[in-house]
Structure 1
Amino acid sequence: MRGEELAHHGEQVVERQEERLAQRDRHRLLRRGQRRLKFANVKGAPLDLAIDRERHARIRYELSLRGLTFAEIARRAEVSVSSVSAVSLGKSRSARIELMLAQALATRPEALFPDRYPANSGEGT
């Protein structure tokens, strides 16, 4: 009986190790690439927002070239720094913060966040 118990224990150890490795790999994938979050919009239909760390880093870099930070944008918009960061990452949406970021970078929100502003059919470019 002792041999069977050891074999069963060994199988459990291997299963736990495999689960930890799979969990670590899932976590790395979530951190590395784009994650997608589901939010409910006003009408109750889910709004799929992409977390884009590259865009976030680019926005921070472009702001730094202009001597600005998320803290300065937050002060101007009268919101928290985490709110500005969340919008830049794609974790949340705020037309006002998107506009403030775009204005600070001398562009339009549509150019800065093209995934959030789908092209309107019938409008010229």
Structure 2
Amino acid sequence: MSARANRRRASALRRSPSGRRVPRPTMADACARFGRESLRVRQIEHFVAAVELGSLSAAAEAAGISVQGMSQSIAGLEEEVGARLLERGRLGTSPTAFGWECYDRAKDLLAEFDGFDAFVRSRSGPDDA
């Protein structure tokens, strides 16, 4: 195994209080812990991309997924929040009134996640608990 692969593997692990190496918690773990298993950061990223790019196909291309995958991701988010966020048409997508409100909050939320991720990555190493 290469040194790079070892570092990647080590960064995915942390030491428990007993000194055992255990996997670092993921965002999915945090969502499950707080009862939000179906709402994912990726869905929010997809929604923001669709609003900013104005179409599901452009957002899908930017995310590196299929248009069908993008559509399903956003439909899942809409189902979770219980409201339509995007109007879909032949000429692209546009946010509903509620979608605009969600977009503003989603942008703030993603900025917070990015800041948290940068903080954690700057502070933790393979030997940190």
Q: TM-score, normalised by structure 2?
A: 0.23
**Relative contact order: is structure 1 or structure 2 higher (C-alpha 8 Å, sep ≥ 6)?**
2
Task: Give the structure with higher Rg (CA).
Answer: 1
- TM-score normalized with structure 1 length: 0.24
